[in-house]
Amino acid sequence: MNPRRKKRLLTAIAIISGAGAVIALMLYALNQNIDLFYTPSELVNGKGPNLEKPAVGQRLRIGGMVVPGSVVRDPQSLKVSFDVIDSGPVATVVFDGILPDLFREGQGIVAQGVLLDANTVQATEVLAKHDEEYMPPEVAEALKGMDHMKSDYGNTES
């Protein structure tokens, strides 16, 4: 092999190795920030065809309805715990912070945090979702007395 081809080969190997290292580092960094979503049933029973359960200490998101009567607040701090449910088992969420204004019992929430044990999540963030019938008070006041039509999303006939 002549020196010129040898130099090109080494350059190509260096470029491919560098690109591989950059891709590997990017995948490693992304893997640290992936939060898989689980429902309470998937958290307890497992997810997917292999019924894989998250490991203790894994970051995840859990979503479900807050079980009425399950919200327990610590009077000395901002700690609160509550149960969430979908159609099966109950999972417990523990949170230390200010809950969103839309948080209520019987309301859908999504909590992001770390799995403490088989069905308990230490949340770092709790998101509450308003229902689809919500309308800002200013708009409701403006529409008071007027007939307004709801959009018909399910009707495909024209």
Q: Residues forming the annotated binding site for heme? A: 130, 134
Residue with tokens 């715990």: 81
Q: Which residues are annotated as a binding site?
A: 130, 134
- Asked if residues 84 and 65 have their Cβ atoms less than 8 Å apart, the reply is yes
- If one counts every other C-beta atom within 10 angstroms of the C-beta of residue 122, the result is 17
Question: Which helix H or strand E contains 53, and what residues bound it?
Answer: none
Q: Could you tell me if residue 29 is left (phi over 0), alpha (psi between -120 and 50 degrees) or otherwise beta?
A: alpha
27, 55, 64, 124, 135 from 43: Cα distances, Å = 25, 10, 11, 17, 33
3-class SS at 126?
strand
